[in-house]
Amino acid sequence: MAKTTVSERARNFGAESRGLLPLAAGTLLILLGLLCAWQTWLIADEDGAKQRLHGAQDEAVRSLQGEIAIERGKIVEAVAGVDPAADRDTLIAQLHRALPQASRIEVYSGSLDEVVHADYRQFGYAKAAQLLAAQTAEGQTLMQTVADGAARQLTLVVPLGVPAKPQAWVWLAFPFTALQQRFESIRVPNGRLELHQEDDRNDRFLLESGSDHSQREATGKPVPGSAFSVVAAPPEAFIVLPRSAWLAGLLALLGIGGGGYLLWRRNRQPAEVATPEPEEPILSNVFENKSETVAPVSARPAPAPAPVAVAVDPTIFRAYDVRGIVGKTLTVEVARLLGQSIGTVMREKGLREIVVGRDGRLSGPELAGALSDGLRAAGIDVIDVGAVPTPVVYYAAYRFNTGSGVAVTGSHNPPDYNGFKIVVGGETLSEGAIQDLYRRIAENRLESDGQGSVRHVDVVPDYIERITSDVQAERRLKIVVDCGNGIPGAVAPQVLEGIGCDVIPLYCEVDGTFPNHHPDPSDPHNLEDLIMAVKQTGADLGVAFDGDGDRLGVVTREGEIVFPDRTLMLFARDVLSRQPGATIIYDVKCTGHLRGQILDAGGSPLMWRTGHSLIKAKMRETQAELAGEMSGHFFFKERWYGFDDGIYAGARLLEILAGDLEERTPEQIFATCPKGVSTPELKIEMTEGEHYRFIEKFRQSATFGDATLTTIDGVRADWPDGWGLVRPSNTTPILVLRFDADNAVALKRIQDVFREQLFAVDKTLKLPF
């Protein structure tokens, strides 16, 4: 038997391997084609699945509307049949006979005085809000639900007598069971339906039906005649291809067709004939061919990374956050790339975990999801804390020891804006670090190993417990809390109740369209409703929060707006009483009286640039115990963590006011903080980037005589009797101006000087003063 040489075995193995390659490739292509075919079916059915779920949603709304109409009809008929002149006990007895299914019936005066002055903790916040809302309701009042121990009650307020001027108000409660059965009887094909109560700040989520754990839609369909809405959560199909049925179908055909062709060619191809092994070379042949050398293979450089296909607008990368218009400069793909860029920076710093949260804007869930996808693609583990105020994201970064967090928020900007506030390794990114994120995206220097995980955590109870366990009001104050339909409405009232205050909620229902007023307490127009509510309810104070909860506004019972720089005076006195000599930072927009107040309290005042990330960086550098901005950002390091938190600042303010040893009113306490004649923040709108160019020209050309100039952030001119400021906003393309003086004459003089200098740069400016 002839021996098989090593070279023969190698050739045979190579021939067999080459024969297997078409088989493997064809089989793989067919499997990929089948996968694409399955994806085609999922994509084609996606809209159908959503339509079926929305059909069930419509059916649930109609069913609940019918049940509510039946109950309302019985109640209205019963109330119309009683004697309005009868005493309260007789009225209640008559109504119980007509409505035996009612679990509770209560009658209140037409003026609702007993509700306005009630102890809401005992009376019930939800019931008080429902009764007070009935006074101003146009048309029929809304049916809603309140918690009664472990059970729920369906409640309604109806007028007794003439609706325009009722003699009394009747509040009725019924078992929630019938409405619950109606909702749960709806067949949900795929996905999930949820029943929410839009104006119940303590428990907006009521019921759910269905089993898929998918992301619910941002808005639900209202149930007419009630405060309820039905929210749909469409099923999330496992789709990995672009959502195009024709493209997925084409890929399926190419995969199955190409794989079939390779297998057909393999079966028709003749067996490979082994070529005879060449004879071993003899010595003469070696010498004859020794001059024939093999050309060396050149080492090619590694190919440069492909450019990013998505066009990213560099103008959304601002001085201390990333912010743009949803669907235009800020898209889901931009959010995903930003997540990858942040993740890449974290990987370089040896960080592997980050907290992600979002505010109440409608675009929040989609953008936060895309951001998390990008972070995970970069190998970062994500802790998703859901819809929470920005300070809760910062708190969670401390609570879970990540040192990193991203708040997806548009802050106080219009509803079509959204953005990202970013902390990496304990540092809030700003200026150069923000621009570095853009450069990484533009140059495609992004990590993409895809190994990151995600887990969902509810950190709000822990945040509330952390504050209320340390901050307490020594006497009860009645407070109106205006959240402007921003995300603080889900947290702030609970915090302020927890420290011992009686809270009257105003616009605390989270609604990303901001239907009542814009959530920006730095604009006096946005505080008009709060001032009215404080006066009507006889509250001690009113507090307001911006859209993501990191800023605080304050109004007194007399309707005075307490500017944040005066609030900072109270905070500085309080902190310095325990931390003598501490550094207190304030921004260039704050009153000139603040410096003297800090010095008088034994502190070290430091003026710095405006911007939450810039202030926090300066706090770390100087080890400051407290900082504040005229915009309403307050940063407590003493007893807290050094980040800006409007909700925590509100709790600390109420602790100071309620702990006054002389038990002075808030007005009397604020009267100790000096004030001159000042303006709020005045704004001049410009095109994107123009405001920066204007300030540069203004800084070079403006002259202010003997004034002391500060140019760390715009131009501020200080005189002995007042000051003026013009600076570029780093969040929107506007110039921000503010003036403050000891009296009206000095204020006008300073404004005239600034007016002359501003017109010297641009005569077409439309000045707001």
Per-residue pLDDT, averaged over 157-180, amounts to 87
pLDDT at 7: 47
Better-scored residue on pLDDT, 284 or 616: 616
From the list 209, 226, 372, 411, the catalytic residue is 411
Distance (Å, whole) CA 738 – CA 594: 15
The candidate with the shortest Cα–Cα distance to 428, out of 442, 445, 407, is: 407
Q: Which two tokens stand for residue 699?
A: 């800084």
Distance, C-alpha 692 to centroid of its chain: 28
329-350 residue pLDDT tens: 999 999 999 999 999 999 999 9
Instruction: Work out the number of other CB atoms within 10 angstroms of the CB of residue 26.
Output: 20
Residue type (1 letter), 593: H
pLDDT at 577: 97
pLDDT at 244: 61
Q: Which strands sit side by side in the sheet containing 634-636, from one edge to the other?
A: 604-608, 583-587, 626-628, 634-636
Contact 668, 488 (CB under 8 A): no
Q: Check residue 84 and give left, alpha or beta (phi > 0: left; psi -120 to 50: alpha).
A: alpha
Better-scored residue on pLDDT, 186 or 716: 716
pLDDT at 659: 94
pLDDT at 298: 32
Distance, C-alpha 311 to centroid of its chain: 25
499-512 residue pLDDT tens: 999 999 999 999 99
695-747 residue pLDDT tens: 999 999 999 999 999 999 999 999 999 999 999 987 778 999 999 999 999 99
In this predicted structure, the answer to whether residue 202 has a pLDDT above a threshold of 50 is no
The mean-pLDDT minimum among 164-178, 297-311, 469-483 falls in: 297-311
Distances (CA, A) of 271 to 10, 258, 262, 265: 17, 22, 16, 12
> What is the percent of the chain with per-residue pLDDT over 70, rounded to a whole number?
83
Per-residue pLDDT, averaged over 242-250, amounts to 61
Residue type (1 letter), 493: P
567-596 residue pLDDT tens: 999 999 999 999 999 999 999 999 999 999
Better-scored residue on pLDDT, 678 or 52: 678
For 461, list phi and psi in degrees, rounded to 5: -55, -35
The mean-pLDDT minimum among 44-53, 167-176, 294-303 falls in: 294-303
pLDDT at 290: 36
pLDDT at 552: 98
What is the four-CA torsion angle of 477, 480, 482, 487, rounded to 10 degrees? 50
In this predicted structure, the answer to whether residue 208 has a pLDDT above a threshold of 60 is yes
CB burial of residue 187 (10 Å; 0-12, 13-18, 19+): exposed
- List, in sequence order, the alpha helices (H) in 358-485: 364-377, 390-399, 432-442, 460-468
Per-residue pLDDT, averaged over 115-125, amounts to 74
Q: Which residue has the tokens 């995903």?
A: 336
395-433 residue pLDDT tens: 999 999 999 999 999 988 889 999 999 999 999 998 899
* Whether residue 187 lies in the annotated active site: no
pLDDT at 730: 76
* 1 — pLDDT class (breaks 50, 70, 90): very low
From the list 633, 652, 691, 727, the catalytic residue is 633
Contact 356, 382 (CB under 8 A): yes
Q: Which two tokens stand for residue 675?
A: 């004030």
266-320 residue pLDDT tens: 565 544 444 443 444 333 333 333 333 333 333 333 333 444 457 899 989 988 8
Distances (CA, A) of 283 to 278, 280, 287, 291, 422: 15, 10, 7, 14, 74
pLDDT at 111: 84
CB burial of residue 20 (10 Å; 0-12, 13-18, 19+): exposed
Distance (Å, whole) CA 459 – CA 386: 9
Per-residue pLDDT, averaged over 554-562, amounts to 96
DSSP 8-class letter at 527:
G
What are the b/e assignments for 212-247, b being 16+ CB within 10 Å? eebebbeebbbbebbbbbbbbbbbeeeeebeeebee
Contact 681, 738 (CB under 8 A): yes
pLDDT at 401: 94
Q: Which two tokens stand for residue 124?
A: 């019930």
In this predicted structure, the answer to whether residue 5 has a pLDDT above a threshold of 90 is no
From the list 52, 152, 196, 323, the catalytic residue is 323
pLDDT at 641: 95
Cα angle 337, 341, 346 (rounded to 5 degrees) comes to 145
* Whether residue 211 lies in the annotated active site: no
Its sign, for the CA torsion 309, 314, 315, 320, is: positive
Contact 219, 28 (CB under 8 A): no
Instruction: Work out the number of other CB atoms within 10 angstroms of the CB of residue 435.
Output: 15
pLDDT at 181: 84
The mean-pLDDT minimum among 348-357, 617-626, 676-685 falls in: 676-685
In this predicted structure, the answer to whether residue 609 has a pLDDT above a threshold of 90 is yes
Better-scored residue on pLDDT, 211 or 471: 471
Distance (Å, whole) CA 722 – CA 52: 66
Residues in the chain: 769
In this predicted structure, the answer to whether residue 675 has a pLDDT above a threshold of 70 is yes
Q: Kindly report the average pLDDT of the chain as a whole number.
A: 85
In this predicted structure, the answer to whether residue 201 has a pLDDT above a threshold of 80 is no
* 187 — pLDDT class (breaks 50, 70, 90): confident
Where does 326-477 show beta strands of DSSP type E?
353-358, 381-387, 405-408, 417-424, 427-428, 454-456
Distance (Å, whole) CA 319 – CA 435: 8
pLDDT at 299: 33
Per-residue pLDDT, averaged over 239-255, amounts to 62
Distance (Å, whole) CA 186 – CA 177: 15
Relative to beta strand 192-197, strand 205-210 is antiparallel
DSSP 8-class letter at 314:
G
Q: Which strands sit side by side in the sheet containing 192-197, from one edge to the other?
A: 205-210, 192-197, 228-233, 221-222
pLDDT at 475: 94
* 633 — pLDDT class (breaks 50, 70, 90): very high
* Whether residue 633 lies in the annotated active site: yes
Contacts of range 707-714, beta carbons closer than 8 Å, 24 or more positions apart: 710/588, 710/607, 712/588, 712/607, 712/608, 712/609, 713/587, 713/588, 713/608, 713/609, 713/610, 714/588
Alpha carbon distance, N-terminus to C-terminus of the chain: 109
In this predicted structure, the answer to whether residue 97 has a pLDDT above a threshold of 50 is yes
137-168 residue pLDDT tens: 777 888 988 876 557 889 999 998 877 788 88
Q: Which two tokens stand for residue 401?
A: 């020891």
DSSP 3-state of 651:
helix
What are the b/e assignments for 621-657, b being 16+ CB within 10 Å? ebebbbbbbbbbbbbbbbebbbbbbbbbbbbbbbbbb
Contact 312, 322 (CB under 8 A): no
- Radius of gyration for the alpha carbons in the chain, expressed in angstroms and rounded: 34
* 180 — pLDDT class (breaks 50, 70, 90): confident
